Structure 1
Amino acid sequence: MLTLNATTQLKDIAYLPEETLSIILEALITIDEAYGADMKAMGYGGIVVVLEDKDDLPDFTHLLAAYHLDLETMLPEFVHLVTCSNGQLYCHSLILNGSDFGIIVLSPLEITPGSLMRHLHH
Structure 2
Amino acid sequence: MKYPFAQYEADKITSKTGKKLSDITLEEVKRGNVSAEDIKISKETLSAQGQVAMEAGNPSMQKNFERAAELVDVPDEVILKMYDKLRPNRSTKMELVLMAKELLETYHAPHCAKLVLEAAEIYEKRGILLK
TM-score range, shorter chain: under 0.3
- State TM-score, norm by structure 1: 0.27
Bigger relative contact order, structure 1 or 2, given CA contacts below 8 A and separation 6+? Answer: 1
Q: Which has the larger radius of gyration?
A: 2
